[in-house]
Amino acid sequence: MWRFTFASLTKHARRLVATTMAVVLGVGFTAGTLIFGDTAQAGFDETFARTAKNVDVVVLAGDHPLTAEQLRAVSGVGDVDHAEGRMAASLPMLGSSGRPLLNNGRSGYAVSVAEDESLRGFDLDGHAPAAGEALLDLETAAHEHLSIGQRIQVLDKSGAIQSYTISGLVDFGVSKKYSGLSVVGLPQAEITRLTGESGLEEIVVRARPGTDQNELAQRVRSALADGVTVKTGAQRRTDLANEATSVATQFTFILLIFGVISLVVAIFVIYNTFAILLAQRVRETALLRCIGATRRQIFGATLLESAAIGLIGGAFGVLAGIGISYGLPLLLNNALHSGVPDHPVVVRAAPVLIGLTLGVVATMAAAAIPALRATRTRPLAALRDVPSAATTSRRSKVVRAIVALAAGAVGVFITVRGGQTDDSETATFIVVGGGVVVFLGVLAASPLFIGRLTALVGLPAGRLAGPPGRVAVANARRNPGRTAVTTASLMIGVGLMAMFSMLLGSIKETAKDQLSSHYPADYMVAAVRDGKTGEPGRIPMAYADQLKGHKELATVATIRSAKANVDGKVLHLGAIDHPELLPQLPGGLTDGAIVVDDKQPDPNLPSLRTLAAADTTIPGAGRFDGIVTWSQLEKLAGPGDGSLVLVKAASGVSPVESREILDRVGLAYPLTVVNSVADLSSGLETAVNGLLGLFAGLLGTTVLISLFGIANTLSLSVIERTRESATLRALGLTRGQLRGMLLAEALLMGLVGALVGIVFGLVYAPLVLQAALRDVVPVIVTPWDWLAGLVLLAAAASCLAAVLPARRAARGAIVAAMADR
């Protein structure tokens, strides 16, 4: 049987190319994700652990920053070669526009540069800053197009601008602490001079050679008071690496889901190939049975064949995976700014073995059912002509319908239960689970309806293209099982794409809707938040007063937030000097009254009259325990500045005009940020489009695999129908018509798969959305442009898949093909 397997493999090599490609892609994606995971892990490890390089013992601050005395105490411990205090303070840096560089409304950091080179927590390109010099982080430098020798400006605590020359660049990688924020490196004393702060974040210690880290840590611990954490350098590096793992596994987990999806699609393709091949080989198999091959031998030979393909596909898949692992960081960093560090690709044994195993196991599993079916071939079949159209018994149809209905019912039940679940996260999870089950039902049922659907979709083909069109439709219908499995793989990819596009599109529109209905103003001027603590800063009253002087601005409302003690309760209160601007306070607010949060139990305040319970969120400022008038808050918490200014332009004033006024007034107040509702919308748009691109990219592999499936089914069918094609040619079908016929058949399969997938996505996306967004009424949009694009893409791609088989079919000479048996 070995020899037979080998012979049949080599004889059918060309027929197996597309299948092997499906295995390669499915395995490639998964192996690529695993390799990427290892690589990212190594990269994260490296960048995270960098801060603890050369460190033997580290002292971490507790609730309070570490002091200079503590540093001296550590330095005095025996066997301490050198101890260095590390400082990090908020320090806004100004960008080229003269405004502070912000990330999420937060300004940047200053970090101290250790005098001792080996104890610096970063690698330095350039030299340590001398007087009038500073270091800058690479990311900010790249973003602002700055290089060594150029000047940067920072704002000191009094708001004055200070300039430095860049003496070096520092790579902080993906450090969570600094991610996206500007980081300026300065000598410790200079930071204290700028910010007034002197507390230390951590103290790092280098021991004398030959000192035991644990022992030294113990001694350092006893030299310090409680309230600090002392760790050895090794411990610290492990901690940091663990932090890195959680970052890396997040990505890998999501990617692996897509890997599994593509593998499932590949299994469909493999299953179909073997089902078709073995159906074509019935005579061969029967002949083997005639001459004495046992069922077990037939089964074994088929499985052996599939194992060989799985091994070859798996091996190439692992190679492809290495290639994919180069591409994934680019995709992720572009779409998500995930900040996966650059690192040479790490190929460990595990992904290679997993890839090979997956290839073999998936292929063998996919081939098992067709192989089992092949063993049922009776020796007599060798003498019969092979029926060209598969016939399905009534009973198996009924069984199929029952299974599909049962799966559908269970899925619908789960979905409904999910919709009734209160917790939105659980609800989403359950609804998605229900969707998967319903989809399985649809897949199970698809051989029953795919034929009719194909006929329906193919109606125009018959009308427009005459007999070739009609034959194409008939051919696409003749093996419903085969067509169903072929289209199922496309259904999965296109369905998920449709669903994601609708989900993301709806989330975007919902958010925009929330913006426009909840944002009572055109602009929101916020105080820059502290880089280190994230606390909002203050906006001087003079700023709002200056804005009020412009008649182009109809309303300028200042919002202040403060903690106040009311009737013995500490409440986080918000105040606004134009209460009528807030949609939840249409009637305004009077002194002595309060609007309380409807999400919290009634605070029951005897000294304040509760006007209403409402949504106490003020855009840009968050949710409050209650909202009161400005003067009421001054009575409760004393006088103070606002932290947010809402501005509404007068009617008839163009956005350009009003924006110009805000920018001009803002020049004197660098620590304010102007956000327009329009900016927020467009920011949202970019973010959502980035995500859409990412999902499309990830699902692209799935769609690609299903296209190999279409090409595969088609070319196998073409081989099967050689004589028929020749007959058609003899009767007057031109070469072009024959090619067109096969293109039409592929087009039909592609369209049917895409349509079913899209319908499924359209049904489930709103359900998932309703489960996920419990607090708001989601605006559900159908992304017709995307869906139309998907249909066109599926159509174009399936035609592309048909090009080679069609050319092969049309190339053959009629007479030779007619003789082919």
Residues of this chain that interact with other proteins (CB under 8 A) are 387-389, 466-468, 470-471, 474-475, 477-478, 723-724, 727-737, 813-815, 818
Q: Which residues contact 190 (CB under 8 A, 6 or more apart)?
A: 129
Helix 295-336 / helix 2-11 crossing angle, nearest 10 deg: 50
CA distance 15 to 21: 11
Cβ 382 to other proteins, closest distance in Å?
Answer: 18
Q: How many CB atoms lie within 10 A of CB 580?
A: 14
Q: How many CB atoms lie within 10 A of CB 123?
A: 14
* 238: helix, strand or coil: helix
- Residue 203 dihedral angles phi and psi, to the nearest 5°: -120, 125
Q: Is the CA virtual torsion 140, 143, 144, 149 positive or negative?
A: positive
Q: Which residues contact 576 (CB under 8 A, 6 or more apart)?
A: 557, 558, 559, 560, 582, 589, 618, 627, 629, 630, 646
DSSP readout, 398-446? HHHHHHHHHHHHHHHHHHHHHHH-SSHHHHHHHHHHHHHHHHHHHHHHH
Q: How many CB atoms lie within 10 A of CB 60?
A: 15
Q: Which residues contact 136 (CB under 8 A, 6 or more apart)?
A: 146, 152, 166, 168, 169, 170, 182, 183, 184, 185
Q: What are the angstrom distances between the C-alpha of 446 and each of 34, 117, 240, 472?
A: 34, 68, 51, 19
- CA angle 91/97/99 to nearest 5° reads 35
Helix 459-478 / helix 424-457 crossing angle, nearest 10 deg: 100
Cβ 701 to other proteins, closest distance in Å?
Answer: 34
* 143: helix, strand or coil: helix
Q: How many CB atoms lie within 10 A of CB 759?
A: 14
**In this complex, which beta carbon is closest to other proteins, that of residue 418 or of residue 458?**
458
CA distance 723 to 706: 27
Cβ 815 to other proteins, closest distance in Å?
Answer: 5
